Structures are given as C-alpha cells and as structure tokens.
Amino acid sequence: MIRPLFALLLLSTFTGTTWANNNLFLPGDAFFHATLTQESVEKLVQQQPLFVLENSLQDAFPGTFCGNAGYRRAEVEAFSPQFVKNLKWTYDLIRKSDRRELREIPGPEGTTYQEINGLLLFLMRKDFDIEKYRQRLGLRYNENWVSEAEKYDKFLQLCCFVQIPEAIEASWRDSRLVPGLEVTLPQATIQEGRAVEVPVKIKGEVQAILVRSGPVQPYFDVEDSREIYVVTEKETTIYLSHEGRWAKYDTYQDGKLVTEHPWPD
C-alpha cells in the first residue's frame, strides 16, 4: 500500500503547475522521444550521414509556460542510411491505414500545411524488450530525474506520458531493470529554464518504437488490438497486443515480408 501512495504523492506534487519546466530528454531517461511526420522523416533521409532527432512534446503531457529542462536534440550514432530507410518505409506503411491529418496555416506568402497526427517515436536501447511484462512503453525509468531537472530550475514537473499512479510506481520501482540510453553530453552551458540546443550523442545499438498519434496509456496498459512497430537497421517488426501482452506478428526486411510469427495460444 505504501508504494501506490508514494506514487500518488509524486503525481500530485510534481504535476499540475504552470510554473514548472517541461522535461525534454534528461540523462538517465530510457528513451528519446520525437514525432515522426512526413516532413521530419524526409529531413532524416536528407541528413545522412549525420542523423539528428528533435525532441517533441506532441501527445506527451500537459505543457507548462515556464520553460524547458533537458536536451532538445540528439545525434544518433546507430542511425545509418538503411536504418533511416526502414523508418521511412514503416512511416509509409502506417500511413496506408492511418492517413495524415493536416492543419491549414495562412501566411503572408500563402497557406502552408502542418501534419497534426505525427507518429510517436520512442528511441530506446536495443536490449529493451517490449514482450517482458515489467518493461512498459512510455516510462522514462529515470530514478535521477529530480537531480537532473534541478540543474535547470527549482520548479519541477514530473513529465509523464502516462499520468496514473501505477505508471509512476512502475517507472520508479523498475528503474534498475531498464537502464537509460547511453549518451555523451555536449560541452554546453546549462541556462535556467532553457533547453540545451547542442545535440546529445546517443551511443550504442538502439531501436525505434513507433505508435500512432494519441495517448500512450493504452500501450502502457497493453489494451487489446493495439499495434506497435519496432524498427532497427535490419528490419521492422510489428507487434500486436493480445490478452495483456505483446506478440510478434510480422517482420519485414527491405519492405518484404520475411517472417509471419505464430499467434500466441
């Protein structure tokens, strides 16, 4: 009973204030979050051989008006032209059943269009295993987030993609089971309430987990009939949720189906 109460205390103490910073990527986080749109994925293709992701708060958590804490951009050493090619192929695959939604933005030089249902991308270590019950999508698993966030300001916000006590407890309880991304921090001066714009370097093997735009809690809860797409340099694997767990469905390499996984009993 103590742990759920502690999680509820954290949730009520560090959320719901407009005077706290928005946490971007903090050292120790299990993932770097970005929003994948047609525009951003095409920019990635054009960036090669240097690939930089930009942190996004889309569909993340209620934002505040004070400032930001953490790193806005990440240079991903494991990204290669083939990895990015797989990301683009996966984006295009999802868009066959989940079309882009665009917002018109009038301007002095004409109307532009902004994609408002970009895919949520969670860049995680290669050894993160979504099939394990205690490794849930959307949790930072960062037990040192307070000390990292305090470097930017004393006003803290527990920026959670899943804002329920069970998720807060799991992120704290299992933080030693899910290590953070391996990173090299840039030489940059931290300023109060301002994100670091110089990219942090993400090292080691990684995987990009993609889900559709919207709340992350259904993926944390492993609701039935949900899909996630796990992209690596080698392949894209689709997982489907079934009776509270994730099961592999199809695996593609170079856009071709190579494995149809048996459905779990």
Measured CA to CA, the distance from residue 134 to residue 129 in angstroms comes to 9
- Averaged pLDDT, 24-39: 96
Give residue 7's pLDDT.
43
Look at residue 15 in the predicted model and tell me its pLDDT: 47
CA distance 227 to 249: 9
For residues 242 and 157, the model is more confident at 242
Give the model's pLDDT for residue 48: 72
What does the pLDDT look like over 212-251, one tens digit per residue?
Answer: 999 999 999 999 999 999 999 999 999 999 899 999 999 9
What's the whole-number mean pLDDT along residues 77-104?
Answer: 96
- SS3 string, 192-210, reads CCECECCCEEECCCEEEEE
Lowest mean pLDDT among 11-15, 26-30, 33-37, 167-171: 11-15
Which amino acid does the sequence have at 44? L
| pLDDT of 58 | 62
Do 263 and 242 meet the contact criterion of CB atoms below 8 Å apart? yes
Quick one: pLDDT at residue 61? Answer: 56
Q: Average the pLDDT over each of 94-98, 144-148, 155-159 and give the range with the smallest value.
A: 155-159
Residue 115: other Cβ atoms inside 10 A: 17
Across 90-113, average pLDDT: 94
Question: Which two tokens mark 155?
Answer: 């006003």
Rounded-to-integer distance, Cα 149 and Cα 135, Å: 24
Query: Quick one: three-class SS letters along the chain?
Result: CHHHHHHHHHHHHHCCCCCCEEECECCCCCEEEEEECHHHHHHHHHHCCCCEEECCCCCCCCCCCCEEECECEEEECCCCHHHHHHHHHHHHHHHCCCCCCEEEECCCCCCEEEECCCEEEEEEECCCCCCCCCCCCCCCCCCCHHHHHCCCCCCCCCCCCCCCHHHHHHHHHCCCCCCCCCEECCCCCCECCECECCCEEECCCEEEEEECCCCCHHHHCCCCCCEEEEECCCCEEEEEEECCEEEEEEEEECCEEEEECCCCC
What's the confidence (pLDDT) of residue 17?
47
Contact (CB, 8 A) for 224 and 243:
yes
Using DSSP bridges, classify how beta strands 67-69 and 21-23 pair: parallel, antiparallel or unpaired: parallel
- Round the average pLDDT of the chain to a whole number and report it: 88
Is the pLDDT at 196 greater than 90? The verdict is: yes
For position 56, what pLDDT does the model report? 83
pLDDT score recorded for residue 72: 95
More confident call, 200 vs 163? 200
| Banded pLDDT at 13 (limits 50, 70, 90) | very low
Residue 187 has pLDDT above 60, yes or no: yes
What is the pTM (predicted TM-score) of this model?
0.90
Residue-wise pLDDT for 47-82, tens only, equals 977 899 999 876 555 555 568 899 999 999 999 999
